[in-house]
Amino acid sequence: MEKVELEIIGLSYSQTQSGAYALVLSEVGGKRRLPIIIGGFEAQAIAIELENMIPSRPLTHDLFKNFAESFDISIKEVIIYKLKEGVFFSKLICEKDGKEIELDTRTSDAIAIAVRFKCKVYTYESILGSAGLRLDQEGESEESEDVYPLESEPKKETSVNQLASLTLEELNQHLDKAVEDENYELASKIRDEINKRTS
């Protein structure tokens, strides 16, 4: 299967789930973005590392890195390899003494570890094709988001019930608008509703 490299471009407060965050990954050299809903702890762990902050005591992901390095285990890459019922599945590709080992992990933990090991993150074309959101606006800056400070205020919620009452045409219009506004968390909800109806 063809792998697609991803990079982190956004991390913001979830508009529909209390205590959750939207992690936005973008394909390197492309216009598709992959929004993933993650927990607050993992969002904080990712943001702390991206901002080069040093916590007073090691976080769990820092402990994992220290443990791995102490035993000469390197993390080569992260692969988001499956999407099932809106949940992304990932694995760490580790190496020790020339032997490669795959470890199943939650995607949020995999990304928190990837930023610490400075390793690449990939997904498969099939996943990005089905769950990715394409940016088609001309003249849009790829680096328009200052993403790492976590937003503290939730925005107006859009419920799943509201989406269920819209027609497919209306959903597609709302999806285009959400992507244009860079509201990827809402866009992922709309995408899921469209996929539910068309699959």
In a domain, 194, yes or no: no
In a domain, 164, yes or no: no
Strands (E), the chain: 3-13, 20-27, 32-39, 74-84, 87-96, 99-106, 120-124, 133-134
What's the CATH code of the domain at 94? 3.10.690.10
For residue 101, what pLDDT band results from cuts at 50, 70 and 90?
very high
Neighbour tally for 146: CB within 10 Å: 7
* Res. 157: pLDDT tops 60: no
Q: Residue 96's closest CA among 117, 64, 119, 69?
A: 69
Total count of domains within the chain: 1
Nearest 10 degrees: Cα torsion 61, 63, 64, 70: 150
Residue 5 confidence (pLDDT): 96
Residue 178 resides in a domain? no
Query: Which is nearest to 16 in space by CA: 197, 178, 165, 195?
Result: 178
Structural domain including 40 reads 3-154
- Domain presence at residue 189: no
User: What gap in Å lies between CA 61 and CA 42, rounded to an integer?
Assistant: 9
**Residue 177 domain-assigned (yes or no):** no
* pTM of the predicted protein model: 0.71
Which class for 142: exposed (0-12), middle (13-18), buried (19 or more C-beta within 10 A)? exposed
The pair of three-digit structure tokens given for residue 37, joined into one six-digit string = 């809903």
| Token pair belonging to 75 | 């993390």
> Does residue 111 lie within any of the structural domains?
yes
| Structural domain includes residue 55 | yes
Q: Which amino acid is at 123?
A: T
Separation in Å, CA 62 to CA 25, 49, 58, 67, 115:
22, 9, 5, 9, 10
CA atoms of 109 and 59, how far apart (whole Å): 12
Task: Determine contact, residues 108/114, Cβ cutoff 8 Å.
Answer: no
Measured CA to CA, the distance from residue 56 to residue 74 in angstroms comes to 25
SS3 content of the chain, % helix, strand, coil (to 5): 35, 30, 30
**Residue 165 included in any domain:** no
pLDDT tens across 1-24, in order? Answer: 789 999 999 888 776 677 788 899
pLDDT tens per residue, range 15-71:
667 778 889 999 999 989 999 999 989 999 999 999 888 888 989 999 999 999 999
